[in-house]
Structures are given as structure tokens and as C-alpha cells.
Amino acid sequence: MGEITVSAKDMHHLLADSTSTHGAPYQQAYSDLAATHRSRPVAEIVPLLRAAADRALLGFTGTDLAEQAQAISSGAPYELRVRVTGP
């Protein structure tokens, strides 16, 4: 399980929000990779997740990205604990 802290005003970077003008929510990128990269090598998925995290302006650690890539590769569920801060 991974963890990330996101400010309340930046939640649209993580979760898809139809009212947001931010064009790269991480949730959508992760879902897309999960649908297309099952059984692919973790080493192939990690850079794609890193690029998605960078576009979404989220600071996932390398360990978090590797765990997410492993979940995508194996088709296992991945649990992410999100801490929301501030207004």
C-alpha cells in the first residue's frame, strides 16, 4: 500500500474531476495502464507511471511507483492511502 499527501485544492491532480481544467489526473493514467499493461514487465511500467505522476504534479516515491507497477503487471488490486491537507 502506498501513501501520498495532497492538498485539498489539488485533489483534481489525483482524481478525475469533470469540473477541473487540469488535464492529467493520475487516476485516469493509472486506470489506462492497468487496462493495457497487465503481464508486462514492471521495469516497462514504472517509467510510464513516473511520467503520469510528473504530469499530474504528484510526488510518488520510486518505491510507490514500483509497487503500483507490480500491481498493474500482476492484475492485483493496489491500495493508495491519500492524506488530504488544507482547505
Q: Give the tens place of pLDDT for each residue, 8-59.
A: 988 888 987 756 665 678 999 999 999 999 999 999 999 999 999 999 999 9
Nine cell digits for residue 27: 487516476
Calculate mean pLDDT across residues 55-83. Answer: 95
More confident residue, 13 or 87: 13
- Under 8 Å between Cβ of 14 and 81: no
Q: How many domains would you assign to the chain?
A: 1
Its pTM stands at 0.88
What integer pLDDT is reported at residue 18 of this predicted model?
59
- Residue 87 Cα to chain centre, angstroms: 22
What are the beta bridge partners of residue 82?
Answer: 4
- Residue identified by cell 509497487 is 67
Q: Which residue has the cell 510528473?
A: 54
Q: Nearest-CA neighbor of 46 among 12, 11, 73?
A: 73
- The residue assigned the cell 487516476 is 27
Worst-scoring range by mean pLDDT, 3-7, 76-80, 83-87? 83-87
Domain interval for residue 13: 2-85
